[in-house]
Amino acid sequence: RALRLLKVEHAMFQGAVRPGDTLTLVAKSVENSDYVSVCAGQALLGDRVQALAIYEVFMLDEGE
């Protein structure tokens, strides 16, 4: 489902990401309503967490 970022509640950056690095992005919804979700996400470089964020997203209707 398509979504749009509304706001970042919290973000923590723990390490450098350089040009050419390949990141794995992992996200999970922790609170839901019909159109808005609060999510937690991580940016992983190998097995190291380089960034962590808590953010709010708006769920778009199909086709937007």
Mean pLDDT of 35-49: 96
Query: 64: pLDDT confidence band, cut at 50, 70 and 90?
Result: low
| Cβ contact 17:62 at 8 Å | no
Tell me what percent of the residues of the chain surpass a pLDDT of 70: 95
Q: Domain residue spans in the chain?
A: 3-59
- 30, pLDDT greater than 90: yes
Query: 2: pLDDT confidence band, cut at 50, 70 and 90?
Result: confident
Measuring CA to CA, how many Å separate 26 from each of 42, 49, 61, 64? 5, 10, 23, 23
CATH number of this structure's domain 3-59: 3.10.129.10
Mean pLDDT of 30-37: 92
B/e letters for 9-47, b = 16+ CB within 10 Å, e = fewer, are: eeeeeeeeeeeeeeeeeeeeeeeeeeeebebbebbebee
